[in-house]
Structure 1
């Protein structure tokens, strides 16, 4: 099938036809997977876990495998149905829209539990695989208690650290440091590390305790990580290494043409304008070096930052095609994250476009970037290190920058994978859990 071009009439799901290598995902499927059930808080793309949940639903369905998408929230207005995916929307409200009831339903959403339990009783088969993506905004930890009856066929995606850490980031937001504490240990419980308040920390801890009860650390489910570097964090919370498997995210570059980074001088930042993303340090360094800074994104710090750094260009959030223009004028992307960022999709998108990257060593991709020679990393706990890294990069010759850009564009280091390879990896894990279940002679 490799290299064969599918005709439009052969494609049951045209919305993903423009994905890199996505066309090949229409190949015939082995009959061992009878159905894939994807569970996620919502079904309308808003970035992160939901984008990947939707992409997996479409690509798996393109392989001829029936897909059911159980959404805690609203309908998607027909997008998934147009791909042949059976969308079942529960119609539940986002946790931030539930008012006083959120304190209870965020830990135990009774309606979701009843709905999913009824669906499983009516529809489950021995060759049905269940894959959970996002659960913290609507579905709640109780979802996993319901799924315990199919735990041997359950795959859980760790898009962040909410499976382990109460605040989901292993980050002390009050101290501005990566957290080294054991989740739910005495030191953890005593520490106010939350973005908002200690009361919120205690509520999040209660939710984590409920999760630990509903999703036993040594259960028979399988957990997929975005990066190998997530494993120590998850093991610290009690998950065994044998349950943890890495599936790097799929990436589509900003542009199919190499960014001529060597011809540019500006530094680019793409992300939310919040303290933990390191945006303030980035702009301060750009000012000190008298280098142009381009900021793509929005957030609560924007107004203050625009006043403090009038020479920087703030664009707000942009459509993907408009980000291309910003990337094409940059010498490097800067990702100065202050927390243990599991993947950093924008890093891979920029790198695959030929744009070198400068990133904090708190990002799990930092070591990969260094090893591949496609950018520079710096100590995230050193306030002056970012400025030094940007100065060092600016001092590189055009020839050195071009060589780095060419390595990045050639995908040296393979920091991410194509949608096709990602789709194959997911299906491989689904087949593994079914094979294990069959070998043990057990249905769940």
Structure 2
């Protein structure tokens, strides 16, 4: 296809909180450039903005009003064929999108336009009170960082639902990463025909993962309430070996809850985690929230690693649909489930790798996103 000029707009989250969104944007920029497209990443970095003591006030005002830093000067200088917005929170305003004249698509990595906490999660369970018609429920419960004050700008910005969000209204197409994510946004009022399902990808690991049983189970993620790590460790059988990779505010409580066979490895950089993935028995995914489409699941499939997912997340839905592991209910005794999965998972490794090759490669993503860009360009040309 012809070379396109693509601008990716992204507000990078702080490095203290590792983000799959940040990694996905970097991966996509690299993939588009490798395919011959001209790419500009128009970025704001929370690490830089947070050096100012006024950053919290500026970010709150930007989120509440939609006005603030705009990528438009950089976009005009680059003159893209397509603008692809990933994340504007909290450093970019949103009002600029109303007047952007060219094709614009947006990836919805999380549920922030519907939920101040971005995860549709509260008190240990999925919560859809705000999109279901109580837009200030998040404010009452302090759903962003446990603070009503911090939640107020987000609650105000989301008060009119998806139809009141400038980005959701303006985008020519909205990219969702999972079927459950698409259903959630459609149920909240986004027109299904404006959505496109394009899952995340990871580049192909080299060498290919070898067969094997692996000795220990793996949890990899932030140690925060919505990830379900405490509930997992409280149920974890004493004789099953588990490695916990990640950091977060629940680390001390997680250590206290863990049986002796659990090791805490801290944070591993992405390359090291991917190198080591084939050596584990399986990825345990106990998330208590819906999730978007976490990269660690795709990285596990690339390594031929099956997934043990707890009911209730998009990962559990994918595991069930693709046959890439086992889905377990929270009320099931975990010991027998782990024994059965441990016996079954070695034979699933080739299948998991095949699912990765069929659905989650860079080439598959590139074809889908190029088709999307060409579609919005053609539609804009037809209207004008």
The question of a shared fold, defined as TM-score above 0.5 by the shorter chain, is answered with: yes
Q: Provide the residue aligned with 1:71 in structure 2.
A: 43
Q: Provide the residue aligned with 1:50 in structure 2.
A: 22
Alignment partner of 2:178 out of 227, 242, 267 = 227
Q: In structure 2, what is the Cα distance between the partners aligned to 1:179 and 1:345?
A: 23
**Greater shift after overlay, 274-283 or 404-413?**
404-413
Q: CA RMSD in A?
A: 3.1
* 1:176 pairs with 2:118: no
Change (3 A) 1:235 1:44: same
**Are the counterparts in 1 of residues 230 and 257 from structure 2 also a CA contact under 8 Å?**
no
Q: In structure 1, what is the Cα distance between the partners aligned to 2:266 and 2:230?
A: 16
List aligned pairs for 1:235-246, cutoff 5 A. Answer: 235-246=186-197
**Can you give the 5+ residue segments of structure 2 that lack an aligned partner in the other structure?**
none
Say which SS state the counterpart of residue 327 (structure 1) adopts.
helix
**Greater shift after overlay, 294-303 or 41-50?**
41-50
Alignment partner of 1:401 out of 345, 365, 369 = 345
Instruction: List per-residue Cα deviations over 1:35-87 (Å, max 9, x = no partner).
Output: 21111113998532222222222322333332222112389xxxxxxxxxxxx
Q: Provide the residue aligned with 1:139 in structure 2.
A: 92
Q: In structure 2, what is the Cα distance between the partners aligned to 1:49 and 1:244?
A: 19
Say which SS state the counterpart of residue 411 (structure 1) adopts.
helix
Q: Provide the residue aligned with 1:433 in structure 2.
A: 376
Instruction: List per-residue Cα deviations over 1:91-120 (Å, max 9, x = no partner).
Output: 75589971433321333475513xx34445
Instruction: List per-residue Cα deviations over 1:370-421 (Å, max 9, x = no partner).
Output: 2333211123xx3x33x43x522313574x332222211222795x411122
Q: In structure 1, what is the Cα distance between the partners aligned to 2:27 and 2:356?
A: 25
Q: In structure 2, what is the Cα distance between the partners aligned to 1:139 and 1:412?
A: 34
Say which SS state the counterpart of residue 106 (structure 1) adopts.
helix
Q: In structure 2, what is the Cα distance between the partners aligned to 1:203 and 1:111?
A: 13
Q: In structure 2, what is the Cα distance between the partners aligned to 1:54 and 1:412?
A: 20
Q: In structure 1, what is the Cα distance between the partners aligned to 2:354 and 2:203?
A: 13
Change (3 A) 1:187 1:131: closer
**Can you give the 5+ residue segments of structure 1 that lack an aligned partner in the other structure?**
1-28, 76-90
When Rg is computed on C-alpha atoms for both structures, the one with the higher figure is: 1
Q: In structure 2, what is the Cα distance between the partners aligned to 1:340 and 1:359?
A: 12
- TM-score norm. by structure 2 comes to 0.86
Instruction: List per-residue Cα deviations over 1:221-263 (Å, max 9, x = no partner).
Output: 210011122122112332111111100111246664435453x
Change (3 A) 1:281 1:213: closer
Q: Provide the residue aligned with 1:291 in structure 2.
A: 240
Change (3 A) 1:278 1:261: farther
Say which SS state the counterpart of residue 156 (structure 1) adopts.
strand
**Greater shift after overlay, 215-224 or 156-165?**
215-224
**Are the counterparts in 2 of residues 289 and 391 from structure 1 also a CA contact under 8 Å?**
no
Q: In structure 2, what is the Cα distance between the partners aligned to 1:95 and 1:107?
A: 19
Q: Provide the residue aligned with 2:58 in structure 1.
A: 101
Change (3 A) 1:284 1:412: same
Q: In structure 1, what is the Cα distance between the partners aligned to 2:307 and 2:341?
A: 13
Change (3 A) 1:338 1:44: closer
Q: Provide the residue aligned with 1:128 in structure 2.
A: 81
* 1:373 pairs with 2:323: yes
Q: In structure 2, what is the Cα distance between the partners aligned to 1:101 and 1:193?
A: 20
- TM-score norm. by structure 1 comes to 0.75
Q: In structure 1, what is the Cα distance between the partners aligned to 2:163 and 2:298?
A: 32
Change (3 A) 1:359 1:429: same
**Greater shift after overlay, 186-195 or 221-230?**
186-195
